[in-house]
Amino acid sequence: MTLRLYDTVTRAPRDFVSLTPGHASVYLCGATVQGEPHIGHVRSGVAFDVLRRWLLAHDYDVAFVRNVTDIDDKILNKAAEAGRPWWEWAATFERSFDWAYQQLGVLPPSVEPRATGHITQMVEMMQRLIDNGHAYAAAGDVYFDVRSFPDYGKLSGHRLDDVHQGESAAAGKRDPRDFTLWKAAKPGEPSWPTPWGPGRPGWHLECSAMAVFYLGQAFDIHCGGMDLVFPHHENEIAQAKCAGDDFAQYWLHNGWVTKSGEKMSKSLGNVLSIPNVLKLVRPQELRYYLGSAHYRSMLEYSEEALQEAAVAFRRCESFVQRAAERTGREVPVGKWTAEFAAALDDDLNVPAALAEIHGRVREGNIALESGDSEGALAIAAQVRAMLGILGVDPLDPQWASASDNSAAMGALDVLVQAELDRRQQARAEKNWAVADEVRDRLAAAGVAVTDTPSGPEWSLEQASSNESGK
């Protein structure tokens, strides 16, 4: 069966045919490194890691590019509020995202370019757009002329008359629907020289320039969250096409993680950071949960759903471990079933793939109960292969250290919570000296305490700065 992927442009599944036989080129919009990653941020990383693994399983040579937006209004504003250099702020949370991806077993990208490292490519693209009559400079800013591109709105379905870029008004814009390619330098902000004056890139420009630089003027797949369809991806297409590049052949978008029916975001105050969620479940269980829904569907978060997913994963894990114990042999990685392949070939239908896996687990458990250890071992090898494509092979060495770390974090949580309870009691008794003593002792040990309406929360300061969106 041919791999079919739902293309946002055509609004229909299409057979995947790569531009170069045996080679697949993929660009994923990565993080805007403005703060700690929450589970909504990393869902795209997990979803399209499955795509990458499935392409690799079919012997594609995959070039996978995931960018880092390390210069942006949000980064500058938050760094300024914290009294920190913008570059330090960005680097700190870039490490946080790297840590989160590693914890969840997301394969490292072929390359992970930063926006600030590709100013030359952006300037060259702006020059082409100006030369082609699709962009103009005004008072140090550079804007894209939306009306100059007849296909504008094809990806998102927006009518030109209804377009609103979400940008502040600027005197140099010829039309409010035009969007910013380059922002003129402001006092105290970082800037780079260009023929139109010093400044910094607009958000949309970086991805068009970096995707073409690494993958070529035409490449196979562009991925990202559905919140990026407009204006970010619509503007990427406009820039690239008008600069003379064919750009992406397929556009894939994953659904949001929601909480109480709303998109998870910092502004809504419903953020669930990766370190905090990993206090509830192991990394492989969180990955299983984030990847269990179809990538295009919304994933409504609740702790109950998270724990149900963890239990479902443990059933698979327990069966594989029991098969190894009964036979006294290691479980090899076998071959997935035809039903599993058909599910993933159908636009990465992970729910159907998981149904096949759990069906095989049930058959394997029956085999174990009947004494057919060899039959169970063969089924366990299939289960390992299928879970491996989904990035949650229970015997992958990736998870051994993660499980040890999870146990250590659990023990640490018990100790810290006892101290926090002591601090809460002292505060209730207005014994501020003891309360401050507890907080200072925790801080000296690298434990940061944040008081919230629902009670104090803690995190490891070192993990935030050394381990650890759009």
3-class secondary-structure state, position 324: helix
Query: Could you check whether 4-254 and 301-396 share the same CATH topology?
Result: no
pLDDT one-digit tens code per residue, 213-234? 999 999 999 999 999 999 999 9
* Residue position matching structure tokens 């591109």: 149
The lowest-confidence range among 2-16, 147-161, 422-436 is 422-436
DSSP, res 217? S
What's the token pair of residue 88?
Answer: 């330090």
79 and 89 in contact (C-beta within 8 Å)?
yes
- Please report how many Cα atoms fall inside a 13 Å half-sphere around the Cα of residue 385, on the Cβ side: 18
Question: What mean pLDDT do residues 2-9 have?
Answer: 97
pLDDT for 267 equals 62
CA-closest candidate to residue 141, choices 209, 189, 201: 201
**Separation CA 418–CA 415 (nearest Å):** 5
Q: In 200-292, where does DSSP find H-type helix?
A: 203-215, 234-242, 274-277, 283-292
The second-level CATH assignment, the architecture, of 4-254 is 3-Layer(aba) Sandwich (3.40)
Using alpha carbons only, give the angle 409, 410, 415 rounded to the nearest 5 degrees: 95
CA distance 268 to 470: 15
Check if the beta carbon of residue 189 is closer than 8 Å to that of residue 76. yes
pTM, to two decimals:
0.85
Please state, for a pLDDT cut of 90, what percent of the chain lies above it.
79
At which residue do the structure tokens 């098969």 appear? 323
State how far Cα 198 lies from the chain centre. 32
d(CA 190, CA 198): 9
223 bridge partner residues: 28, 252
pLDDT level of residue 447 (50, 70, 90 thresholds): confident
Residue 197 has pLDDT above 80, yes or no: yes
Which two three-digit tokens encode residue 349?
A: 């239908």
Quick one: how far is CA 463 from the chain centroid?
19
Q: What crossing angle do the helices spanning 234-242 and 119-131 adopt, rounded to 10°?
A: 70
- pLDDT tens track for 300-343: 999 999 999 999 999 999 999 999 999 999 999 999 999 999 99
Question: 301-396 belongs to which CATH class?
Answer: mainly alpha
Domain ranges of the chain: 4-254, 301-396, 399-467
The two tokens of residue 130 are 């100006």
- The predicted pLDDT at position 404 comes to 52
Tokens coding 379: 């089924």
Taking CA 249 as the corner, what is the angle to CA 244 and CA 251, rounded to the nearest 5 degrees?
A: 115
CA–CA gap between residue 59 and residue 76 (Å, rounded): 42
Residue 352, number of CB atoms within 10 A of its CB: 16
pLDDT at residue 236, as a whole number: 98
Provide the token pair at 95: 């490490």
Q: 310 and 281 in contact (C-beta within 8 Å)? A: yes
pLDDT, residue 460, reads 66
Dist. CA 386–CA 337, nearest whole Å: 8
In this model, does residue 358 exceed pLDDT 90?
A: yes
pLDDT tens-digit map of 69-103: 999 999 999 999 999 999 999 999 999 999 999 99
232: DSSP letter: I
Q: Give the bridge partners for 450, in sequence order.
A: 457
The pLDDT score that the predictor gives to residue 1 is 63
In whole angstroms, what separates CA 432 from the centre of its chain? 42
Q: Residue 35 contacts by C-beta under 8 Å, 6 or more apart in sequence?
A: 78, 93, 266
Distance CA(127)–CA(145), nearest Å, equals: 14
Query: Average pLDDT of the chain?
Result: 91
Nearest to 120 by CA among 213, 215, 214, 243: 213
Cα first-last separation, the chain: 35
Task: Choose between 424 and 254: higher pLDDT.
Answer: 254
